[in-house]
Amino acid sequence: MSSLHKFFVPKEQIINKRLTLTGSDVSHIRTVLRLKAGDSIQVISDSDKWLTVKLVEVKAKEVHGEVIASETINLESPLAIHLGQALTKANKFDMTLRKSVELGVRSVTPLTTERCVVKIHRTEMEKKIGRWKKIALESSKQCGRSQVPIVAENIQTLENFCRKNECQDLKLVFWEMEDTKILKDIDLDVEPRSVAVLIGPEGGFSQAEIETVREFGFQTVSLGPRILRAETAPVVALALLQSRWGDL
Ligand code: SAH
């Protein structure tokens, strides 16, 4: 990895090897990093490339640069993890989203379940999803991922998530009442390349919900004898999955 400072710039903004940075990137370059014309930065575009960009002009509202080198990279895990996360209180859900992006999640679907205390009204949904997409983009940028994970277009029911993820190689529901099976006990002949993961809200899943998802082929798995908080469970689950079949 290069020691240059990294910026995320959508590839549409790079034309003929020239690019213009605007907004918060400009103040970051000028006042925080104090970079000048002639200095280089690393630019991650959404096309799996890291570009070395030499700054040509550093102005008050715009920074112009020129691509001087390009390198193909892959920061995406060979295991595509699709997280179905029940809605938790606002800042907790935001945190789960950030941490999941850092841990290489492929998609995150917010779910509404029986014991969710958080209710998001239909009229607020678009705004919420927009905010989560922004968080996914910012977190990707911060951790150097070139592919921004997908945030589902709407908050879904458990059944919906199960139906959409029917084709994944492995389907797991993390359940604190499961007292025998942990991830290590899952023995597959072929390494899974995709996994759907369900994590419940603060109040957990109901027995009926567990039965429903089992019918869709989800296996219950334990994260150990202690009950983890709703914001801890997805971080641990993702780390374990990446360590077992992914890139961690
Ligand atoms: N209501 C429960 C805790 C829910 S914790 C209680 O207080 O007893 C929120 C979610 O984290 C759960 O729905 C589950 O998906 C996950 N989780 C927490 N601890 C877990 C454990 N030990 N094993 C498996 N999943 C766990």
- Of 143 and 139, the structure prediction assigns the larger pLDDT to 139
Which CATH number fits the domain that encloses residue 145?
A: 3.40.1280.10
Nearest CA to ligand 1 atom 4: 204
Q: What is the CATH number of the domain that holds 24?
A: 2.40.240.20
Query: DSSP secondary-structure letter at 149?
Result: P
**pLDDT: is 46 or 208 the higher one?**
208
Residue 1 lies in a domain: no
Distance from the CA of 152 to the center of ligand 1, in angstroms? 23
Those residues whose C-beta lies under 8 Å from the C-beta of residue 94, and which sit 6 or more positions away, are 132, 135
Among 87, 99, 210, 227, name the best residue to mutate to test ligand 1's pocket (greatest count of ligand atoms within 8 A of Cβ).
227
Same domain, 226 and 106: yes
Rounded mean pLDDT of the chain?
A: 94
Domain that includes residue 240, residue range: 80-245
- From 89, 112, 174, the mutation candidate for ligand 1 (largest count of ligand atoms within 8 A of CB) is 174
List the alpha helices (DSSP H) in the chain. Answer: 24-27, 90-102, 122-143, 158-164, 207-215, 233-245
Question: H/E element holding 64?
Answer: strand 63-72
Q: Tens digit of pLDDT for each residue in 18-72? A: 999 999 999 999 999 999 999 999 998 766 778 999 999 999 999 999 999 998 8
Q: Mean per-residue pLDDT for 192-204?
A: 98
Phi, psi of 132 (to 5 degrees): -65, -35
The partner residues of 70 in beta bridges, in order of sequence, read 51
123 is a domain residue? yes
Query: Relative to the CA of 225, which ligand 1 atom is closest?
Result: 22
Mean pLDDT of 67-84: 92
| Predicted local distance difference test score (pLDDT) of residue 199 | 98
